[in-house]
Amino acid sequence: MYNNKRQKDTQIIVTEIFIEHPDWNAKQVYDRYCFLIGDINKAVTLNAVQKHVQKLKDKNKEITKFGLDNSWHMGLLDQYHFSPEAIRKIFELMIDGRDITIRRAVWISRFCTLSVSLDLLFFMAYRYAAGEYLSQLSGEPTFDTTTIDREFIGVILSKPEKAKSYVAFHKRDPEKLKSIRNELKQRKVKNERSHSTTKQKKGHLFNQNQPR
């Protein structure tokens, strides 16, 4: 029998792996999970991982039916009545080479009147969109944005130099997985993991290219 904290820690790692590799089978996810925790004796069973992976796949199928993570194109404006300012910002981000999904476009439309740089606008939309997807994947009835709100309120109200530093930092980091990792920890676990070695090994999962 696994204690509650161990179950939650396992769900965090497995969910991270699933989001990064949605096409992997349960055995591949399990092998990666064992590598990340660094101690096979502390691992849950393959069956436990299989059950959680299946839940994630079932939930992901429900989410993809809505198509919010498909690429945005202007032909969708008959469904999404964005303001002229929002359309202009989306165009500018597309010209800049950013990957704009429908979900991100919706968030851009909500923030387009803020006095922020184009880079910061994109990262805000990216952050909220990733959190929204995670909320849906976790089966939460509502998307609680409190933590993300506090993060960006501090950036928006700060001096321009700090906002630039924030954007520069996230351009170097894998923003998608960093956001997901933070969301998972805040939603499911309040205490930090006790083993620092696990954190160090786990960090290799996020060494991917920055989002476009």
Q: What is the pLDDT of residues 9-39, one digit of tens each?
A: 888 889 888 888 889 999 999 999 999 888 8
Tell me, what's the pLDDT at 20?
84
Q: How far is CA 165 from CA 111, 156, 170, in A?
A: 20, 12, 9
Helices 26-37 & 4-20 angle (0-180, nearest 10): 120
Report residue 55 as tokens: 């839940």
Task: Report pTM.
Answer: 0.68
What is the domain extent for residue 40?
4-65+188-206
185 φ, ψ to 5°? -65, -40
- Between 173 and 142, the more confident residue is 142
Q: How far apart are CA 56 and CA 184, in angstroms?
A: 14
* pLDDT tens column, 91-140: 999 999 999 999 999 999 999 999 899 999 999 999 999 889 988 988 88
Q: What is the dihedral of CA 177, 179, 185, 187, to 10 degrees?
A: -130
Tell me, what's the pLDDT at 206?
44
Tell me, what's the pLDDT at 39?
81
Tell me, what's the pLDDT at 164?
73
Long-range own/partner contacts, residues 154-159 (CB < 8 A, 24 or more apart): 155/120, 156/114, 156/116, 156/120
Tell me, what's the pLDDT at 42?
83
Tell me, what's the pLDDT at 175?
46
DSSP H helices in 96-195: 102-111, 118-137, 146-156, 160-172, 175-188
Q: Let me know: does 126 contact 151? Beta carbons within 8 Å.
A: no
Q: How far apart are CA 52 and CA 59, in angstroms?
A: 11
* pLDDT tens column, 45-71: 999 999 999 999 999 999 988 899 999
Does residue 183 sit within a domain? no
Q: Do 11 and 90 belong together in one domain?
A: no
Most confident region among 143-147, 152-156, 181-185 by mean pLDDT: 143-147
Does residue 181 sit within a domain? no
Task: Count up the domains in the chain and report the number.
Answer: 2
Is residue 120 classed exposed, middle or buried when 0-12, 13-18 and 19+ CB atoms within 10 A define those classes? buried
Q: Do 58 and 78 belong together in one domain?
A: no
- pLDDT surpassing 50 at residue 191: no
Q: Do 59 and 15 belong together in one domain?
A: yes
Q: Do 145 and 194 belong together in one domain?
A: no
Instruction: Classify 66 as helix, strand or coil.
Output: coil
- pLDDT surpassing 80 at residue 7: no
The set of residues, in sequence order, having a beta carbon less than 8 Å from that of 42 and lying 6+ positions away, is: none
Does residue 166 sit within a domain? yes
CA atoms within 13 A on the CB side of 168: 6
